Structure 1
Amino acid sequence: MDEQLALRLRLFREGGQVPAEVTDFVAAELTALEAEGNTVTEATAGMLTSHLTMALGRLLRGEPIEEFPTDEQVANELTGHPEAVARARAISARAARELGPALPESEVGFLGLHLAVLARRPPADPAR
């Protein structure tokens, strides 16, 4: 993980926006994505990082996450990206096991979109 992305997570943690276990969970997911050859930087995964961190923080605080009118549109956009949907569901399942709550379907969809975009990026340079 590059310095800027690590800084993003550190700011979430130090700012008290989310519990440390959320930023640890997100950091572990980003590390796993990077280990699979994805380019995980502030530029490629900054929005993914913020979205997942904030969604998990809201769930742990017991704040409701409503379904969005765009859920059907998001599902349609993900039709060609079953691997991103599967990964989003796996992340949600791990969050449920490790943190308590699972992401609602609308959040899984948005996470899937972020993952689909990340997967379209050129692979990370193994020499780095």
Structure 2
Amino acid sequence: MDDQLALRIRLFREGGQVGPDVAEFVTTELAALENEGNTVTEESAGMLTSHLMMALTRLMDGAPIEQFLTDDQVAAELADHPDAVARARLLAARARGALGRTLPESEINFLAMHLAVLAQQPAR
């Protein structure tokens, strides 16, 4: 993870937008993605990082997460990216184990979209 992405996480945490448990979980997930050979930088994973931190924070806070109107469209776009969908489901399972909360299907789909984009980045 590059310094700018680490700074993003630190600012979210220090600003009180995410708790330390969420920041740690996201940092661990980004490290795993990097260890798998993905390029994990502010440019390639900034949106994924913010989305994941905020989605998990909403869950931890008990905030309602509604289905998105674009769920069917997103699911259709993901048909060509089964690895990203599988990776998003594994991430959601780890979040459930680590944080005790379950991400809804719509959030998993949006994470899969971010992961599909990340997988298309040039290898490091």
Confirm or deny that 1:54 pairs with 2:54. Answer: yes
The letter for the 1-side match of 2:116 is A
1:17 matched to which residue of 2?
17
Give the number of the structure whose residues are more often helix, by fraction.
2
Taking only aligned residues, the RMSD between alpha carbons, in angstroms, comes to 0.4
Structure 1 segments unaligned to the other structure (5+ residues):
none
SS at match of 1:56: helix
SS at match of 1:78: helix
Question: In the TM superposition, what are the counterparts of 1:77-88 in structure 2 within 5 Å?
Answer: 77-88=77-88
Q: After superposition, give the CA deviation of every residue in 1:9-30 in whole Å (9 maximum; x if it has no partner).
A: 0011101111100000000000
In structure 2, distance between residues paired with 1:81 and 1:29: 19
1:116 matched to which residue of 2?
116
Q: After superposition, give the CA deviation of every residue in 1:36-61 in whole Å (9 maximum; x if it has no partner).
A: 11000000000000000000000000
- TM-score between both structures, scaled by the size of structure 2: 0.99
The letter for the 2-side match of 1:13 is R
In structure 2, distance between residues paired with 1:11 and 1:93: 26
Runs of 4+ in 1 over 6 A off after TM superposition: none
For residue 102 of structure 1, report the CA deviation from its aligned partner.
Answer: 1.4
SS at match of 1:69: coil
Structure 2 segments unaligned to the other structure (5+ residues):
none
Question: In the TM superposition, what are the counterparts of 1:55-74 in structure 2 within 5 Å?
Answer: 55-74=55-74
In structure 2, distance between residues paired with 1:119 and 1:106: 20
1:27 matched to which residue of 2?
27
In structure 2, distance between residues paired with 1:56 and 1:68: 16
Work out the percentage of aligned pairs sharing the same amino acid.
67
In structure 1, distance between residues paired with 2:67 and 2:37: 32
The letter for the 2-side match of 1:46 is G
